[in-house]
Amino acid sequence: MRVAIIVATGLLCGSVAAVTDADRVQVYHDFRAVFDARKYPDALPFAEKLVALTQEQYGPTDRSLTNPLCNLATTQYRLHDYKKAEDTYLRAVKIVEDSGGGADRALLRPLHGLGATYFATQQYDDAALILKRALDLSRNLDGLFNVEQMSILVPLIDSLVALGRNDEAERAFDYAIRVAETAYGKADLRVQKPLNRSAQWQEKMGRYATARVLYARALQIAEQAGPAAAINTVEPLEGIARTYRLEFVNSDTDKSDTSDVYAPAPQADPAVQDAQRLNPDGERAILMALKAIDETEPVDHVRRGAAFVELGDWYLSGDVPNRGMASYRRAWKEFALGGSTGALAAPRQLAYRAPLASVSRARGDHDNLEEHFVEVSFTVTGEGRTRDVMTVATDAPLGQQKAVMAAIRKARYAPRFENGEPVETLGVRFRERLLVKRP
């Protein structure tokens, strides 16, 4: 009887087919078919099945699990299930580390994915640490200027920017440009992207002249590529115009904190005044961008609308409101043709000179200072002016509250648009951070 049971059990066990490579390959092809079609919910069961089959065939700690685990983690990431993605990537990292050490090519993919997952969940310190490790590994394995590292370098830069580690971020931006130039040549259109990214960051840092140099390099590359690349001139042209405008509205040269620098000069014709106050190269750059958009078929109405917004910002900042509103109306029509007018659905701050105590203007040692805030509410009129400014929350002294309110009264906004026309907006909020001497 016992022999019979053993025989029967053996027959039963023998009836279960062992997993083969062919089985796993078929599941992988099924997975890629739906994953590449961006049907991530449909891809998830195939990714999970591939992990299960590989584990059954080779065991739970075999290196052959690394790619299936990364496929699963990437699918979880695309589904925004970041906790599961993190756990899956960590498992892949551990398997590779336990079997091959810390300088293993198989670590690149799970480290990259893990860093991207930390970035997506705003864990910027962890993201920077992991992505830096992946970047160092890539350079050790494939050379200092290998182009494959760009996919790691981009989220690393974003993490450093988010952390305010500006010196490291600047070096990384410069390095990305060098990698692209080494891989493709200095005149290749693919160098434009890291140039534009670096220029945008320099612009946000208030380094307008440096940003303009980078935009000019990107523009030269597009111009040298010929008429077929005309659309590639648009982004650097708009950037050049924007840096001229921001440089003017944010400059402290010959402007007191008590005067309204955006008020018109009564003796000047508006068009002449605009040319005097703002570098005319900026206006010319936007008009050139519009021409490039118009010469590209089919015309991109959303991009054309964005260029008209830049032109409207230019005129409004130069206190030529009629031209500014006309440009915004044309932008509205272009956005409507493109399917969405959301870009003009809320007021946008164009010019605001922060008080001297603002964190944004602070320099030097802050040890003897403490941070406070002032939050104000106000109306933005259809002309882009502010009125009815009032403090709604603060822990700052009265004098600092008054300074913020005065600055907002002199600020300029691009108004909200409804049905193609500018309208006023009530209850706009603005929060200013201030540094005040400790008692």
80-135: pLDDT as tens digits:
999 999 999 999 999 999 987 667 899 999 999 999 999 999 999 999 999 999 99
User: What is the reported pTM?
Assistant: 0.83
Residues 371 and 247 in one domain: no
Give the domain CATH number at 433: 3.30.1150.10
Residues 425 and 386 in one domain: yes
Residues 287 and 330 in one domain: yes
CB-CB contact of 241 with 198 (8 Å): no
Render pLDDT for 252-309 as a digit per residue (tens, 0 to 9). 654 433 334 333 444 434 443 444 478 899 999 999 999 999 999 899 999 999 999 9
Which of 329, 315, 337 lies closest to 419 in space, CA to CA?
329
Which of 139, 143, 177 lies closest to 157 in space, CA to CA?
177
Domain containing 368 equals 351-437
Q: What is the pLDDT of residue 260?
A: 40
Residue 60 located in a structural domain: no
Which of 344, 379, 406 is the C-terminal boundary of a domain?
A: 344
User: Domains in the chain: how many in total?
Assistant: 2
Residue 260 located in a structural domain: yes
- For residue 362, the number of C-alpha atoms closer than 13 Å in the C-beta half-sphere is 18
Q: What is the pLDDT of residue 163?
A: 94
Residues 363 and 409 in one domain: yes
Render pLDDT for 228-261 as a digit per residue (tens, 0 to 9). 899 999 999 999 999 999 999 887 654 433 334 3
Residues 335 and 403 in one domain: no
Strand-pair partners of 434: 358, 372
Which of 307, 325, 344 is the C-terminal boundary of a domain?
A: 344
First to last CA, the chain: 94
Q: What is the pLDDT of residue 369?
A: 85
| Cα→Cα distances 346→270, 315, 341, 410, 431, Å | 27, 19, 10, 19, 17
Cα 181 to Cα 169: distance, rounded to the nearest angstrom = 19
CB-CB contact of 164 with 128 (8 Å): no
Residue 77 located in a structural domain: no
Alpha helices (H) in 295-365, listed in sequence order: 301-317, 321-338
Residue 23 located in a structural domain: no
Alpha helices (H) in 37-107, listed in sequence order: 40-58, 66-78, 82-100
Residues in the chain: 439
Residues 377 and 428 in one domain: yes
**Looking at beta carbons, which pairs linking 323-330 to residues 24 or more positions away fall under 8 Å?**
323/270, 323/274, 324/384, 324/414, 325/422, 328/414, 328/415, 328/417, 328/422, 329/417, 329/420, 329/421, 330/305
Which of 291, 326, 344 is the C-terminal boundary of a domain?
A: 344
